[in-house]
Amino acid sequence: MKRRQVLKNLGLGATALVATPSILSLLQSCSNEPEFIPAFLSKEEGHALRSMVDLIIPSDETIPGAKDLGVHEFIDSYWNEVVTEEDQAQIRLGFAGLAGWFQKNMNKPLEEGSLEDYDKVLAKFLKASEVEEAAFREKLGEFYQAYQRDKSVIPDTDASAYSIVNNIRGMTIWGWRASEEIGENVLAYEPIPGQQIGCLPLSEATGGKAYSL
């Protein structure tokens, strides 16, 4: 299936986040400025986030990618303004694990990583085998149990990197498809639904496109 069709068919199941009016307003206020100055992340972590967002949904000749729509800025703002302090602490632990994995395997800090380096990061954690994913989840489960007793405990480096990279993928897809540009010009857009017609194939209802709302 062509990439354009794959992106059009992305459904709400890609993420459990809810697009409330305030969050959509936060998303629409973002833009892809030449220099990304994060509000929540460090500059080095922001570089990693922007690079991965660009690779997860890149631009092509007809559809703007996640970076072009400022999704990296939205994710950083969401983490800064919406999530709880405890969730923020978990995100920071995830980036610490990613930085540790990156230094060990790439022999460089996050801020020196190229798109090729971050492509390897995505391949490592988003294409992990079932056995590897099970091991990561087991280590994360052990960490969360220990964390309830001791907030100073540190998670396994690989498992925390796996967790934050998957978090970034989910938020990138969600932010991209919830953006005004994609919602109105790429996906099927019907702000005031008309009559309900049951059992109508998506190919007939919207030309195969997923609804943006």
Per-residue confidence (pLDDT) for residue 189, from 0 to 100: 47
DSSP H helical segments within the chain, as ranges?
3-8, 21-28, 43-56, 71-81, 85-106, 115-126, 130-149, 157-178, 180-185, 202-205
Q: What is the mean pLDDT of residues 77-83?
A: 89
pLDDT score of 65: 87
Rounded Cα distance, 115 and 133, in Å: 24
Contact by Cβ (8 Å): 39, 49: no
pLDDT in tens, 16-52: 455 565 555 655 665 666 688 999 999 999 999 999 9
CA dihedral 27, 29, 30, 34 (to 10 degrees): 170
Sign, CA dihedral 106-109-110-111, equals negative
Average pLDDT over residues 107-115: 97
Read off the pLDDT of residues 170-213 as tens digits, 9 standing for 90 and up.
999 888 888 766 555 555 445 555 555 555 565 655 555 555 45
CA dist., res. 124 & res. 203, Å (int): 35
Region 134-147: what's the mean pLDDT?
91
Residue 3 has pLDDT above 80, yes or no: no
115-126 vs 85-106: helix crossing angle, rounded to 10: 110
Q: Would you list the domain boundaries of the chain?
A: 3-189+200-205
- Single-letter amino acid, residue 135: A
Specify whether the CB–CB gap between 172 and 75 falls below 8 A: yes
Tokens of 118: 């971050």
Closest CA to 14 of 202, 188, 211, 174: 174
pTM higher than 0.85: no
* Per-residue tokens: 20: 């409330």
